[in-house]
Structure 1
Amino acid sequence: MLLPDTTRAAVLHGPGDLRTEHIPLPPLGPGDVLVTVDAVGVCGSDMHYFADGRNGANTLRRPTVLGHEAAGTVAATGSGVALVTGTRVAVEPAVGCGACPTCRSGRYNLCPNGVCLGSPPTHGAFAESVVVPARAVHPLPDAVPLELGALIEPLAVAVWAVRRAEIGLGDRVLITGAGPIGLLVLQVARAAGAAEVIVTDVNDARLDRARAFGADVVLNTAGREDLGLDGVDRLVECSAHPVALWQGLRTLRPAGRATVVGQAGMSVDGLPLAHLQRWEIDLVTAFRYAHAFPTALAMAADGRVDLAGILTGRFPLDRAADALRAPQQDPSHLKVVVRPGD
Structure 2
Amino acid sequence: MSRSVLLEGPGRRRVVKGEVPEPGPGEVLVRVAAAGICGSDREMYEGGRPEPYRTFPIVPGHEWSGTIEETGPGVDPSLTGRPTVGEGFVNCQVCDRCRAGDTNLCGAGYDEIGFTRPGAFADHLIVPARLLHPLPAGTDLRAAVLLEPAAVAAAAVLRAAPVPGERVGVVGAGTLGLLTIQLLAASSPAELVVSDPRAGREAVARAGGATAYFHPDRLGATDLDVVVETAGARDSAAAAARQVRRGGRLVLTGIPGVVSEMLSPSMIVERQLMVTSVFGAPSAAWTHAVRMFTSGLLDLGPLVTHELPLEAYSDAVALLGQGGEGVGKIILRP
TM value normalised by structure 1 = 0.90
Instruction: Give the 3 Å change call, closer, same or farther, for CA 87–15 of structure 1 in structure 2.
Output: same
State the AA in 1 paired with 2:16: E
Unaligned runs of 5+ in 2: none
Separation in 2, partners of 1:110, 1:58: 14
Tell me which residue corresponds to 1:241. 233
Q: Of the candidates 65, 85, 92, which is equivalent to residue 59 of structure 2?
A: 65
How much does 1:18 deviate?
A: 2.0
Residue number in structure 1 paired with 2:275: 283
Partner in structure 1 of residue 89 of structure 2: 94
AA at the equivalent of 1:102: R
Q: In structure 1, what is the equivalent of residue 244 of structure 2?
A: 252
Q: Distance in 1 between matches of 2:155 and 2:244?
A: 21
Residues 155, 59 of structure 1: alpha-carbon distance in 2 compared, 3 angstrom cutoff: closer
CA contact (8 A) 1:37 1:70 kept: yes
**SS of 1:309's equivalent?**
helix
Answer yes or no: is 1:160 the counterpart of 2:152: no
SS of corresponding position for 1:12: strand
Moved over 3 A (4+): 23-27, 56-61, 264-267
Q: Could you report, residue by residue, the CA deviation over 1:84-107 in whole angstroms, capped at 9, with x for unpaired residues?
A: 311111121114111212111111
Alignment match, 1:316: 309
Q: Which residue of 1 aligns with 2:120?
A: 125
CA contact (8 A) 1:14 1:60 kept: no
C-alpha deviation, 1:39, in angstroms: 0.6
Cα distance, 1:204 vs structure 2:
1.0
Distance (Å, rounded) in 2 between the aligned partners of 1:145 and 1:78: 25
Secondary structure (helix, strand or coil) at the match of 1:312 reads strand
2:37·2:316 contact (CA, 8 Å) conserved in 1?
Answer: yes
Q: Using the alignment, how far apart are the partners of 2:64 and 2:236 within structure 1?
A: 30
1:72–1:90 Cα contact (<8 Å) kept? yes
AA aligned opposite 1:117: I
The equivalent of 2:266 in structure 1 is: 274
Q: How does 1:222-237 map to 2 (within 5 A)?
A: 224=217, 227-237=219-229
The offset of 1:27, in angstroms, is 4.3
**SS of structure 1 residue aligned to 2:92:** coil
Aligned with 2:118: secondary structure? coil
Work out which of the residue numbers 49, 53, 64 in structure 1 matches 2:47: 53
How far has the Cα of 1:23 moved from its partner?
A: 5.3
Matched residue type, 1:141: P
Alpha carbons of structure 1 residues 285 and 33: separation in structure 2 relative to 1, 3 Å: same
Q: What amino acid is the match of 1:80?
A: G
Q: Once the 2 structures are TM-superposed, how far is the Cα of residue 212 of structure 1 from its aligned partner? A: 2.6
Q: Percent identity among equivalent residues?
A: 35
8 Å CA contact retained: 1:202, 1:220: yes
CA distance in 2, matches of 1:254, 1:275: 10
Q: Quick one: structure 1 residues 268 and 106, their matched pair in 2 at CA, closer, same or farther if it must change by over 3 Å?
A: same
Supply the AA of the counterpart residue of 1:15: P
Give the RMSD, CA atoms, in angstroms.
1.9
Provide the C-alpha distance between the structure 1 equivalents of 2:179 and 2:68, rounded to a whole number of angstroms. Answer: 27
The answer to whether the 8 A contact 1:26-1:131 is kept is: yes
Task: Give the aligned residue type for 1:229.
Answer: A
SS of residue in 2 equivalent to 1:248: helix
Aligned-partner Cα distance in 2 for 1:323–1:58: 25
Return the offset for 1:207. 2.5
The 5-angstrom pairing of residues 1-342 of structure 1 reads 7-22=2-17, 27-50=22-45, 52-56=46-50, 58=52, 61-82=55-76, 83-113=78-108, 114-119=110-115, 121-142=116-137, 144-221=139-216, 224=217, 227-265=219-257, 268-290=260-282, 291-331=284-324, 332-340=326-334
Check whether the contact 2:83–2:139 (CA below 8 A) recurs between aligned residues: no
Shift of 1:143: 5.9
Alignment check: 8 A CA contact 1:96 1:115 kept:
yes
1:160: Cα distance to partner? Answer: 0.7
Contact 1:53 1:60 in 2 (8 A): no
Which amino acid in structure 2 is aligned with residue 107 of structure 1?
D
Distance 2:12 2:191 in 1: 44
Q: CA deviation at 1:264?
A: 4.0
